[in-house]
Chains A and B, each alone.
Chain A
Amino acid sequence: MMRFKGKVAHKFAENPLLQMRLPTWRSRLLGLLIIGSFVVLIGRAFYLQVLNNDFLQEKGESRYRRDIEISASRGRIADRHGDVLAISTPMKSVWAVPQVARLTPEQVVQLASVLEMNPRQLAQKLDTEKTFVFLRRQIPPAVAERVAELKLPGIGQDKEYRRFYPTGEMTAHMVGFTGVDDRGLEGVELAFHGQLLGQPGSRSVIKDRRGQIVEDVGSIKQPQDGKEVRLALDSKIQYLAYSHLKQAISEHNAKAGGVVVIDARTGEIVALANWPTYNPNNRDSLSGAQLRNRALTDTFEPGSTLKPFTIALGMESGKVRSETIINCAPGRLTIGNATISDAHPHGALSVAQVIQKSSNVGAAKIAAMLPSQTMWQMFDDVGFGQAPRLGFPGEVTGRVRPWKTWKPIEQATMSYGHGISVSLIQLARAYSVFARDGDLVPLSLTRVDAPVTSGATVFSARTAREVRMMLEMAVQPGGTAPKAQIPGYRVAGKTGTAHKLEGGRYANKYVSSFVGFAPVSDPRLIIAVMIDEPSAGKHYGGAVAAPVFASVMGSSLRTLGIPPDAPLVVAETPKAPLPKARL
């Protein structure tokens, strides 16, 4: 459209183009186009800055912002004095992304030596299709640091916690243990899992190129460390119970056993030991027998330790008094086509002597005076057939059959503890009705600071006191358990020797038990001992379980500093050697 006139030179101001009259629509169109594109730009800016702002902001932040988790540790478990029973310390786990971790053989050897692994095993772990493998878990932080110093590609670390149990096998059943991912699997670790568990927190931060945190952005969620659980357990008494039990088991060549120590005033479980046990710090080869917390999960026929309850009920319902004479001659009693017999035949015995001499016939005769429903009610009242409700995994109810199905012979055998099954902890707790003034104390795993003033009343205070006297007679010369005596303290208790049921028949295997309390003038501790299948000649509760009771009780009372309530020169039977108190 431009017309050039030959080679004429022009100045800009005289440019003939300027003289040309262009159609006005062209400039308008151009102006409109420019305005239009600005409108589009502004619209786009509005869209990005206002409408789509949140999304973009987030995308932008994600380029430099990191969310990091703040780990929380699991709470400690401590005994009543604050001594640690279980504690978590941080450990490291080393992992690899096999696709990225292409290591030279030398590097593999180097890494293996730091991790204390077999190089071939390590190479095998790395040679996999998986996208992620743990190389080793729970290694000490110092080792993890040496791994980090190797600066190998595709090898990373995580922080995790490992649980340590300084008291080891001694408190294994009580405390339990956690799995590798910090979940409680057994014992208190499981029962109090919710309380022990920590809540990890989180924070968002800006990191610089070197990975250092430069700034906090957003709010910080503080981690909540798990709370400490203070048990009622006294680790000193626990040790005494455990070591004496262990000694007795090896001495009598027994299969298993258990000891429960309860504070009679508060219902606290002061010690609970089982054998066999295990080391919770090293659980490579665990068997079910080791894991079982027998005192809570196993029931047994208690045998004569149940007689005091029958007799207390007889006295409570006014059928007998402690001096009522029961004819136990000739040491046998036939009900239906079954015969009950005494281990040693006795003649006429007073009710108190029935306990002292532990006469089955006497107990059965007293039971015959009682309605079966009353007897069932009493068993129920003292907690037999009910779970102890400690929240412990696997605690059992035991077995008391409904009274409507009882036959006379069954009621007779139940009076001396056969045809009924209880756990050791139930038995120990039931004895609190005699150690206290007839009321049953609720059990507690954790510390109770004030004494429980009154539990559920089962017997009157008068009956409880009278039975207490009878139980004291049982450990004196002439009773079944003189070996349960402790110099300096008045002791009361009852032996039990029960045949074991095997396949519905009574086998020639025994469970020896002893339950007692001391000092009688103001009972503080109730101790129940159970020894399963003693097979070194002796099997009577008075010979097997009573000495364990005496040594645990004697040393525990001294440990607690409870003043003696008897002159130290006790009427010792020449046969009974002094209990070898330890520590």
Chain B
Amino acid sequence: MVRLNVVLLLVLVLCSLGVVTSQHKARRIFQALEVEQEHARQLEVEHGQLQLELSTWGAAPRIEKIAREKLRMSTPESPRVITAAPAGGSSR
């Protein structure tokens, strides 16, 4: 009887230790998940900001300004335009 009790007590202690460790592990994993989710949100925000930046830098007025002033580009006058007709041959 006494021996059985001791065995059961040991089993009980082991089980409770197991519960404690698994709870601890679960919390740590959960925290890691939280951190990663926060990171994901951050990245999403950054993505939005980069998109904003992209369309600010790529705005048509800016492109035209640089093309004209820095690169000295201009629209060709119509006598200098040659169009390749899709049917073949070219027309001026």
A residues in contact (CB < 8 Å) with B: 73, 76, 83-85, 87-90, 164, 166-168, 170, 212-216, 235-236, 239, 243, 487-488, 555, 563-564, 567-569, 578, 580-583
A-B pairs with beta carbons under 8 A, tally: 79
The answer to whether B59 touches A567 (Cβ under 8 A) is: no
Does B88 sit within 8 A of A, measured CB to CB? no
With contact pairs A84-B51, A90-B45 given, residues A578 and B86 touching in the complex (Cβ less than 8 Å): no
The answer to whether B78 touches A582 (Cβ under 8 A) is: no
Residues of A within 8 A of B75 (CB): 555, 580-583
The answer to whether B58 touches A243 (Cβ under 8 A) is: no
Jot down 7 A-B pairs with beta carbons below 8 A, ordered by A: A85-B55, A89-B48, A212-B31, A235-B60, A564-B85, A567-B91, A583-B63
Alpha-carbon distance between A563 and B34 when the two chains are bound, in angstroms? 56
The answer to whether A582 touches B64 (Cβ under 8 A) is: yes
Give the contacting residue for A214; candidates B30, B45, B77, B92; CB below 8 A: B30
For the complex formed, measure the closest distance between the CB of B92 and the CB atoms of chain A, giving whole angstroms.
5
Q: Count residues of chain B with CB under 8 A from any CB of chain A.
A: 28
Give the contacting residue for A568; candidates B49, B56, B61, B81; CB below 8 A: B81
B residues in contact (CB < 8 Å) with A: 27, 30-31, 34, 45, 48-49, 51-52, 54-56, 58-61, 63-64, 67, 75, 77-78, 81, 83, 85-86, 91-92
For the complex formed, measure the closest distance between the CB of B12 and the CB atoms of chain A, giving whole angstroms.
25
Residues of A within 8 A of B48 (CB): 73, 87-89
With contact pairs A564-B83, A568-B81, A578-B77 given, residues A214 and B58 touching in the complex (Cβ less than 8 Å): no
The answer to whether B78 touches A213 (Cβ under 8 A) is: no
The closest CB in chain B to the CB of A168 belongs to: B59
Alpha-carbon distance between A582 and B27 when the two chains are bound, in angstroms? 62
Alpha-carbon distance between A236 and B63 when the two chains are bound, in angstroms? 11
For the complex formed, measure the closest distance between the CB of A291 and the CB atoms of chain B, giving whole angstroms.
22
The answer to whether B91 touches A89 (Cβ under 8 A) is: no
Q: Which 9 A-B pairs have the closest CB atoms?
A: A239-B60, A166-B55, A487-B78, A84-B55, A166-B56, A581-B75, A583-B64, A563-B86, A89-B48
Residue among A212, A578, A580, A581 with the most chain B CB within 10 A? Answer: A581
With contact pairs A213-B34, A243-B61, A583-B75 given, residues A83 and B81 touching in the complex (Cβ less than 8 Å): no
Give the contacting residue for A167; candidates B51, B59, B81, B91; CB below 8 A: B59
Residues of B within 8 A of A488 (CB): 78, 81, 83
Residues of B within 8 A of A214 (CB): 27, 30-31
For the complex formed, measure the closest distance between the CB of A280 and the CB atoms of chain B, giving whole angstroms.
14
The answer to whether B60 touches A236 (Cβ under 8 A) is: yes
Residues of B within 8 A of A578 (CB): 77-78
